[in-house]
Amino acid sequence: MNITVTGGALADFDCSVLLVGHFEGNKIPEGAARLLDKRCSGLISELIDGGDFEGKLYTSSVVYTRGSIPAKRILIAGLGRKEEFDLERLRGVSSKAAQKIRDLGIPRVAASLDFGETELSMGDAVRAAVEGALLGLYRFTPYKTTEEDRKGDITDLTIVEDRPELIEDSKKSAQTAQTISQAVYCARDLVSAPSNDMTPSILADKAGAIAAETGLTFEVLDEAAMEKLGMNALLGVARGSAEEARLIVLEHKGGKKDTPPVVLVGKGITFDSGGISIKPSDKMDEMKSDMAGGAAVIAAIKAAVDLKLPLNVVAIVPATENLPGGRAYKPGDVLKTMSGLTVEVKNTDAEGRLILADALTFAKKYHPAAIVDIATLTGACVVALGDYLAGMMGTDTGLKEAISAASAATGEMVWELPLWHEYEELIKSDVADIKNVGTRAGGTITAGLFLKRFAGDCPWVHLDIAGPALLAKDKPYIPKGASGIGVRLLTQFLMDRSHVSSHP
């Protein structure tokens, strides 16, 4: 989609649809809607006065301008109550309006974000509106062979801003939003792809292609290289599969040489059958999304290089399938991790923490300033926090606060769970140093405590995205399916850390 920001009056714009907003409870149109209304001899006020449009959140109404202005129609979008309006609502409003316009088959839109007096800065509003529209319009269509499922994409979005002093900032924000949304699309595409087309080696090839396009440094370790490093936990999980495991490493060298990087680690299980501790077949198909953490870190570092962030970032993705088979690892097996710690495998379905253990040890070679790992790690996290919240655990208060701030800014919500030391008992093993499961109760925390053993004293945060990685229902600007969760959160975290705002 072409996105532009331009000066001038919305009413003069020659376009098939103009998009404006209206707050619930307002008797008269405000901002851009008021100016349009004047030029169209009260068409919008008539609609409001007649009670046909109340401005309720996510509703909208189409008005034909009948030659009063160059544009053929106006789409007036409900913003809900003004006192409840915020960036998250704007993302949703923008998405819902864009979806409606696509359904109407209209390819070119001009919009104003002048809603009258609001608390939002124009830069933030532009970013939220553009992200909302793009994220809400996402569709995964590579496997659809009929035109029906592909038609009607919006090709042009013009944001019209009549205050010249706001145009520069708005342009930068729109650009940032587009870059970040493209990264989210990238993650959603990787996660949505079926596991037969997203094996560890294909995922590594995709990461290599992204690196070649963007200028990231790319390295991939095959099983022989992992063996040399002693990554027996990752290799143990991989043994049941005919597909070779990969360890994917991407680097963005945007900071000064020798400044410690932020290392992002993402779980890359391209299919999780559970292994010998096999999962029930119902919904097992959803486990193609068990590499959503890996996809998020690949996409976030792509955003970091595309935004030219002035800091050093490394993304690490341990990638393998988890399958049963004649050579598969088994309950009771003991694996010696790269760190030297031994792990008793109580359940082969708790494979994520095993591959992350070796990836975290590998990450420490970079002497990171911080490690953030992200993983579809535990069903227990969905039980604790539901489908939409990510669980957050970590060892560093400042880092947790930075992640929470990025979470609040992006609407990718996280909730902290405690790494309570008394639960360390639960992962003690009779035969090895630790075991890979604790009790059913508190399963997210014991998984976090397991990872903590490998993060050691490096400032570290763990995000469990088992709930929000794959949505069963549409959200206002996240269509059902792969959400791309973590991409906006991690990118915002990196932007904040490099003191880059969305409209510098």
What's the token pair of residue 244? 């070779």
Residue 306 interacting with ligand BES (CB under 6 A): no
* Rg over CA atoms, the chain: 24
Min. distance of Cβ 343 from ligand BES in angstroms? Answer: 13
Q: Where are the beta strands (DSSP E) in 357-468?
A: 370-375, 390-394, 414-416, 434-435, 460-464
Contact window for ligand BES (CB under 6 A) among 105-113, 195-203, 255-263, 345-353: 345-353
Q: Which does 380 bind (CB under 5 to 8 A by kind): ligand BES, Zn ion, none?
A: ligand BES
Strand partners, 319: 246, 268
DSSP 478: B
C-alpha distance from residue 74 to each of 44, 47, 153, 418, 484 (Å): 9, 12, 19, 50, 32
Q: Does 272 bind Zn ion (CB under 5 A)?
A: yes
Site residues for Zn ion, window 315-354 (CB under 5 A)?
A: 349, 351-352
Binding mask 212-251 for Zn ion (x = CB under 5 A): ----------------------------------------
Q: Does 30 bind Zn ion (CB under 5 A)?
A: no
Instruction: Report the residue number, 169 or 349, with the smaller CB distance to Zn ion.
Output: 349
Six token digits for residue 113: 């974000």
Tell me the catalytic residues: 279, 353
The yes or no reply on residue 16 touching ligand BES (CB under 6 A) is: no
Give 286 or 424: the residue with its C-beta nearer to Zn ion.
286
Distance of CA 501 to the CA centre of its chain: 18
Which x/- pattern over 395-434 shows residues binding ligand BES (rule: CB under 6 A)?
----------------------------------------
- Angle at Cα 337 formed by Cα 335 and Cα 340, nearest 5°? 115
Residue 379 binds which one of Zn ion, ligand BES, none, with CB within 5 to 8 A depending on kind? ligand BES
Q: Which of 437, 455, 458, 494 binds ligand BES (CB under 6 A)?
A: 437
Tokens representing residue 360 in the block = 């975290």
Helices (H) and strands (E) in the chain, counts: 14, 20
Site string for Zn ion, 40-59 (x = CB under 5 A): --------------------
Minimal CB distance to ligand BES: which residue?
379
CA–CA gap between residue 368 and residue 365 (Å, rounded): 8
Amino acid in position 331:
P
Q: Give kind and range of the element (H or E) at residue 335.
A: strand 334-336
Q: Please, what is the angle between helix 292-306 and helix 167-192, to 10°? A: 150
**CB-wise, 250 or 380, nearer to ligand BES?**
380
- Secondary structure letter of residue 436 according to DSSP: S
Q: What pairing do the DSSP bridges indicate for beta strands 312-322 and 246-253?
A: antiparallel
Query: Alpha-carbon distance 409 to 123, whole Å?
Result: 13
Angle at 491 between CA 488 and CA 494, to 5 degrees: 150
Residues 283-302 that bind Zn ion (CB under 5 A): 290
> Considering only residues 114, 251, 290, 412, which one is a binding residue for ligand BES as defined by CB under 6 A?
290
Token look-up 């990264």 returns 183
Binding to ligand BES by residue 232, rule CB under 6 A? no
The secondary structure of 250-271, three-state, reads: EEEECCCCCCCCEEEEECEEEE
> What is the identity of the amino acid at 192?
S
Stretch binding Zn ion (CB under 5 A), from 185-193, 194-202, 267-275, 295-303: 267-275
Q: From Zn ion, ligand BES, none, which one binds at residue 443 (CB under 5 to 8 Å depending on kind)?
A: ligand BES
Q: Which is nearer to ligand BES, 290 or 358 (CB)?
A: 290
Q: How near is the Cβ of 351 to ligand BES at its closest, in Å?
A: 5
350 touches ligand BES (CB under 6 A): yes
Which of 175, 195, 376, 491 is in the footprint of ligand BES by CB under 6 A?
376
344: contact with ligand BES by CB under 6 A:
no
Binding track over 449-468 against ligand BES, x by CB under 6 A: -----------------x--
> Which DSSP letter does residue 467 get?
T
Q: Which of Zn ion, ligand BES, none does 94 bind, CB closer than 5 to 8 A by kind?
A: none
Min CB(354)–ligand BES separation in Å: 10
Question: Is there binding between residue 481 and ligand BES (CB under 6 A)?
Answer: no
Cα(240)–Cα(262) distance, integer angstroms:
33
Number of residues that bind ligand BES (CB under 6 A): 16
| Cβ(49)–Cβ(43) below 8 Å | no
> Smaller CB distance to Zn ion: residue 344 or 349?
349
* Residue 480 tokens, joined: 């059902």
Return the number of other C-beta atoms located less than 10 Å from residue 400's C-beta.
18
**Interface residues with ligand BES (CB under 6 A)?**
272, 290, 347, 349-352, 376-380, 382, 437, 443, 466
**Interface residues with Zn ion (CB under 5 A)?**
269, 272, 290, 349, 351-352
